[in-house]
Structure 1
Amino acid sequence: MTRPSQSATSTKRLVWELAATGVLILVLYYPTLKALVSDWNTDPNYSHGFFVPFISGYLVWEKRVELKKANASPSLWGLPILLTGLFVLIAGTIGSELFTKRFSFLIVLVGALFLLSGKEITRLLLFPIFFLALMIPIPYILYDAIAFPLKLLASKVACWCLLLFGIPVFREGNIIHLASTTLEIVDACSGIRSLVSLITLGVIFAHLSQNRLWKKIVLILSTIPIAVIANIFRVTGTGILAHYFGPEVATGFLHTFSGWLIFIVAFALLFAVGIILRKTAYRS
């Protein structure tokens, strides 16, 4: 007769333990998270970071029925994970490595959750937690290693396309020389911004729309060629407009608007890929 009340008491205690631990983790990571939010505000490549925690919260809410049914059993296996996260935090602090410190936040969350609630609840919340990784800017050395080849690729292919349209053009690295103006493909035009945002949308879209792991992987991977091709179209279109209507179309409102327009088209293509995968018949 006392089991329901004991279960309710146990659940309430777990909620309070998780809440208290969450507050302690937030206090511990306050300087790190404050700097992270500042990066979202100043770095256009990661302005989507403001939305990621809310999406993660929705993913947790989506699991509410399963969480109520899940068996909460504290496990000491969470302690090594928690200690690993704290070690990574200390190492990142000593080495002044922002990415390491920020990623350790996710490891600490998983470790604390595993320690207090056990394997079953941690398994249910693992995706929402690691989805938060998409709000963390990648290390600059990796960013540069991705952005530079993207700039060269966009410049090279755009030049080929412009020549096909009969527009005289000369390229020097990531600089495109037209008869009337010169276009420099800087980091902001490399396509990495739309790539990062599209990958974020692709991950959540794949999670919500696909029912098999291989389909989710294919959909997420498709964001890469879609973003690259979309950016090439944008650079080519900018070159055509600049040739016929002057260099002012390559800057200001029209340039920004073209970026949004191309991103919408890219997401439409991603959505189409998702529909195709959804309609793919199961085969034995």
Structure 2
Amino acid sequence: MVAVFLYSYWPTLQWMAEAWMKEPDYSHGWLVLPLAIVICYQRADRFPGFEPNVSWAGLSLVGLAIVMRLVGRIIYADFLDAWSILPLIAGAVWCLAGPRALRWALPAIVFLFFAIPMPYQAESMLSWQLQGIATDLSTILLRVFGQPAVAEGHMVWVGDEKLSIEAACSGLRIFVGMTAIAYFWAAVNDRSWLDRLVLMLAVIPAAVFVNSMRIVVTGLLYRAFEGESARHWIHDISGLLMIPASFVLLWAVGAYWKALYRPVEKMTAREFLKDRPAPLANSPG
């Protein structure tokens, strides 16, 4: 079965691997499959086991994957061909292991979505929006730091210095990476669904803030160092530091929320009454 899958999807897998190698926004793709395996390993104690009979209902998802592949080939949409991998794997698990096993494996299967490059139109639209937000927010922050910053399109003027917020600096890479890490944390963590949802929602402002701070730091250092070589190093190092900074910020949000809303220990009525002192008997009047 694995050999048939590799033979059928080899061109699609090559397209994905090429994006991981050449597109910085998807360089995390190499880590997705190993992390999906980690999700399954962390949930191994909850694996319900295999159903004794084949669940033929799972063929509905396999059929959906086939339709997606056909449509993807007709309209030349590589991303749709890649997306079909998800229902194909889900359908195979459903057929061979049963619906309960599918529910168990679903978080890991959904996580594989992060390995697939976005459609070009969606990527361009999201990148454009992130560029605009990063430009406006970094301009405001630079003014807070006392700099004469003015936004012009996707450029920030800091005095005579011009900072161009290009597509590569839109923050799309860190946004996708932080979303993947937040989902991974939610999948392997036993916290409540509210805690997981809060962390997932925190990704959006956190990614925007980290990318904007990178622009701010770059602008401040550009004002201090005028050499071309120094500015090249500033640009590259600030980009590298943005990744650990985003993870630290995401961890801080999770730690703060965990400290703010501690989980309440659940007790049955029998356990609650067991630890209470017996009521005093009424003394005779």
The interval holding the TM-score normalised by the smaller chain is 0.7 to 0.9
Match of 2:136 in 1: 156
Is residue 2:106 matched to residue 1:126? Answer: yes
The 1:164–1:120 alpha-carbon spacing in structure 2 relative to 1, beyond 3 Å, is closer
Contact 1:242 1:249 (C-alpha < 8 Å) held by counterparts: no
1:65-80 equivalence runs, <5 A: 65-67=45-47, 69-80=49-60
CA deviation profile, 1:29-65 (whole Å, cap 9, x unmatched): 1110111011100000000000000111122233334
Which of 162, 167, 176 aligns to 1:182? It is: 162
In the alignment, the residues of structure 1 paired with residue 47 and residue 53 of structure 2 have an alpha-carbon distance, to the nearest angstrom, of: 13
Contact 2:150 2:156 (C-alpha < 8 Å) held by counterparts: yes
Is residue 2:135 matched to residue 1:145? Answer: no
1:1-284 equivalence runs, <5 A: 21-67=1-47, 69-246=49-226, 248=228, 251-279=231-259, 280-282=261-263
For the aligned residue pairs, the C-alpha RMSD in angstroms reads 2.1
The 1:61–1:169 alpha-carbon spacing in structure 2 relative to 1, beyond 3 Å, is closer
Task: Please give the secondary structure, in 2, of the residue aligned with 1:182.
Answer: strand
Deviates more, 1:210-219 or 1:32-41: 210-219
Relative to the length of structure 2, the TM-score reads: 0.85
| Structure 1 position 89, deviation (Å) | 0.8
Task: Please give the secondary structure, in 2, of the residue aligned with 1:246.
Answer: coil
The 1:66–1:158 alpha-carbon spacing in structure 2 relative to 1, beyond 3 Å, is closer
| Structure 1 position 69, deviation (Å) | 4.1
In the alignment, the residues of structure 2 paired with residue 213 and residue 23 of structure 1 have an alpha-carbon distance, to the nearest angstrom, of: 38
In the alignment, the residues of structure 1 paired with residue 6 and residue 49 of structure 2 have an alpha-carbon distance, to the nearest angstrom, of: 28
| Structure 1 position 249, deviation (Å) | 7.2
Contact 1:180 1:247 (C-alpha < 8 Å) held by counterparts: no
Contact 2:50 2:96 (C-alpha < 8 Å) held by counterparts: no
Code of the residue aligned with 1:197 in structure 2: it is G
In the alignment, the residues of structure 1 paired with residue 143 and residue 262 of structure 2 have an alpha-carbon distance, to the nearest angstrom, of: 42
The 1:227–1:210 alpha-carbon spacing in structure 2 relative to 1, beyond 3 Å, is farther
Deviates more, 1:46-55 or 1:242-251: 242-251
In the alignment, the residues of structure 2 paired with residue 118 and residue 48 of structure 1 have an alpha-carbon distance, to the nearest angstrom, of: 31
CA deviation profile, 1:183-234 (whole Å, cap 9, x unmatched): 1100111111111111111111222234211211111111111110111111
| Structure 1 position 182, deviation (Å) | 1.8
Task: Please give the secondary structure, in 2, of the residue aligned with 1:73.
Answer: coil
In the alignment, the residues of structure 1 paired with residue 210 and residue 175 of structure 2 have an alpha-carbon distance, to the nearest angstrom, of: 10
Contact 2:48 2:100 (C-alpha < 8 Å) held by counterparts: no
| Structure 1 position 263, deviation (Å) | 2.4
Contact 1:238 1:249 (C-alpha < 8 Å) held by counterparts: no
- Which structure has the greater CA radius of gyration? 2
Deviates more, 1:264-273 or 1:66-75: 66-75
Unaligned runs of 5+ in 1: 1-20
The 1:107–1:162 alpha-carbon spacing in structure 2 relative to 1, beyond 3 Å, is same
Match of 2:280 in 1: none
| Structure 1 position 272, deviation (Å) | 1.7
In the alignment, the residues of structure 1 paired with residue 253 and residue 52 of structure 2 have an alpha-carbon distance, to the nearest angstrom, of: 38
Deviates more, 1:257-266 or 1:85-94: 257-266
In the alignment, the residues of structure 1 paired with residue 197 and residue 227 of structure 2 have an alpha-carbon distance, to the nearest angstrom, of: 41
Structure 1 runs, 4 residues or longer, greater than 6 Å off: none
Identical aligned pairs, as a percentage?
Answer: 28
Task: Please give the secondary structure, in 1, of the residue aligned with 2:132.
Answer: helix
Task: Please give the secondary structure, in 2, of the residue aligned with 1:77.
Answer: helix
In the alignment, the residues of structure 1 paired with residue 71 and residue 53 of structure 2 have an alpha-carbon distance, to the nearest angstrom, of: 31
Give the structure with the higher percent helix.
Answer: 1
CA deviation profile, 1:96-125 (whole Å, cap 9, x unmatched): 111111110111111122122211221111
Contact 2:218 2:234 (C-alpha < 8 Å) held by counterparts: no
CA deviation profile, 1:10-40 (whole Å, cap 9, x unmatched): xxxxxxxxxxx23222221111011101110
